[in-house]
Amino acid sequence: WSWGYWACALLVLRAVIASLWAGEPAERQKRSWPERMDRDDYIKFLIAIPIVLYAASWLDQWLGANILFRIALIGFIYPLIDLSIRRAHDIGWSGQWAWLLALPLFVAALANWTLFLVAVFFAIALIASLAIMKGNANANAYGEAAHVLEKKDVVGPMVDFFRRKGA
């Protein structure tokens, strides 16, 4: 366990030192977050999930711990739901479809194996359809298309994070 704690502390320490050194930004920027997500970015996120989970599992085995995989797994729940909502908006669907992704979590509490497998099937079918279907090229009820937003300098969370000035 001590190796696992040290590994996590080293990862967090960089962020703490950077925020203390950089301080508050001199000017606050109003950030606008896109309501839609491009299909390619969604697929890249889906590909990153098993890679990160495998790395966390391998690191757990190497350190003799069993916490990193669980942290990574739980850490992917919110981004998966959030990005699936944005992807559904790009297709023109309501974000309410993302509730199907949480269905296996609720059904697991019932301890019914058959219902759990059905819920997992619906969640996988939703993720696959979001990854396969093309988004609307024009504006829809949820905003402008992703390529239009890039020209207007409205960016997603990762690009905005690395572009910002200050903390």
Place of tokens 């203390």: 20
> In 111-120, which positions are buried (b, 16+ CB within 10 angstroms) versus exposed (e)?
eeeeebeebe
- The pLDDT assigned to 128 comes to 93
What length is written for the chain?
167
Stated pTM of the model:
0.69
- Check residue 125 and give left, alpha or beta (phi > 0: left; psi -120 to 50: alpha): alpha
CA dihedral of residues 21, 24, 30, 36 (deg, nearest 10): 40
> pLDDT of the chain along its 167 residues, tens only?
566 667 767 777 766 676 666 665 555 555 556 777 888 888 999 999 999 999 999 999 998 888 888 898 888 888 898 889 988 988 989 888 888 888 888 888 787 888 888 888 999 999 999 999 988 888 888 777 776 666 665 555 555 544 555 44
- The pLDDT assigned to 113 comes to 85
Place of tokens 């023109």: 92
